[in-house]
Amino acid sequence: MSLSLIYHFQSSQNQDGDFKPSRYKVVYFFSEQGFLEDSFMREMSKTIPDADHFGLTFLSLDDLKGFALRVAQELNSPEVRLISVQDYNIGLDGARDLASLKNVFSQFGDLVMNENNSRKKGFFGKLFT
């Protein structure tokens, strides 16, 4: 089961002395089985320091990747693809139908491998490398 995460970079804001740093927000996070439950994602985000658990925003791309990897480990997924909403939109520009929409998730973004999952090869996995 592979996972896909679309995120949005929110630039910093400074209004009336109230400074909000830039953050990376989870827009969509799903597998072939469907979208992940909000409550589950909030629980997983608690493993990342300084994450906004309710809004699902993270201070850095590394934090976002850490969150995505944590989810992949929890769901025994071998990998998770992170795509910025800008890249997703570029992919959509060229898509015409369902098939080309699906291709966006193999052509764009960064793939983060779940090393823990690839290590758990099992008996047969150890035979076939």
Partner 1 sequence: MSYLNDSRSESDLTRPGEQWFFYWKTSAALWESRILEFAQSEIIFIPIYWGFHAENATTWDFGDLLAERDLVRLSKLLTQHGRKFSWILPLTPAPFFPNGGVPISSARTLSISPEGSHVVALDQESKLNKMYSYFEPKVFSSFVQFLNSLGQFLTAHHIKAPCWGLKFYYRHENDRCSYLYDRSLAFEQGFSRYLKSNFPQGVELGSAAEEEKFKSNFLSEVQDLFRTAAESSLGSFWSGVQEVLVLGGSPKETLERGLTEGKTQFHYFQDLFDVYIKSQWLSSSLLTPLEKNQLLPKFLTEHFGNAEIEERYHYQINSGDLNQDMRPYSLIDIVTDENCQHFQTNGLLPFLNQHYRWLYHMHPSLNFTTEWIEGHQHQVKFFHGSSMDRTRFGQMLKLFMMGQQIVLDKTGLHPDLEKRLQIFYLENNLKIQSVNFLTSITLCTLGEGRFFAFEGKRLDDHGERAKFWENLFVYLNLTQPEVVADNDVFSLWRIRATSASDLNYIDVRRVNVYNPTSYKKRVLIHTKKHFAFMKMIDPQRAEARTTSQGVEIELLPFGKIALDFGHYEEA
- Where do contacts with partner 1 occur on this chain (CB under 8 A)? 6, 8, 13, 15-16, 27-28, 30-35, 85-86, 88-89, 92-93, 95-98, 100-102
Query: Closest Cα partner for 66 from 78, 88, 86, 49?
Result: 49
Pick 16 or 19: Cβ nearer partner 1: 16
Q: How far is the CB of 100 from partner 1 (least distance, A)?
A: 7
Q: How far is the CB of 127 from partner 1 (least distance, A)?
A: 29
What type of residue is 25?
K
Q: How far is the CB of 71 from partner 1 (least distance, A)?
A: 17
Q: How far is the CB of 128 from partner 1 (least distance, A)?
A: 25
Residues 6+ apart with CB under 8 A from 79: 2, 3, 72, 111, 112, 113, 114
Classified as helix, coil or strand, 14 is strand
Pick 102 or 120: Cβ nearer partner 1: 102
Pick 15 or 129: Cβ nearer partner 1: 15
Pick 47 or 87: Cβ nearer partner 1: 87
Q: Please give the backbone phi and psi of residue 48, each rounded to the nearest 5 degrees, phi first.
A: -105, 120
Strand partners of residue 5:
29, 82
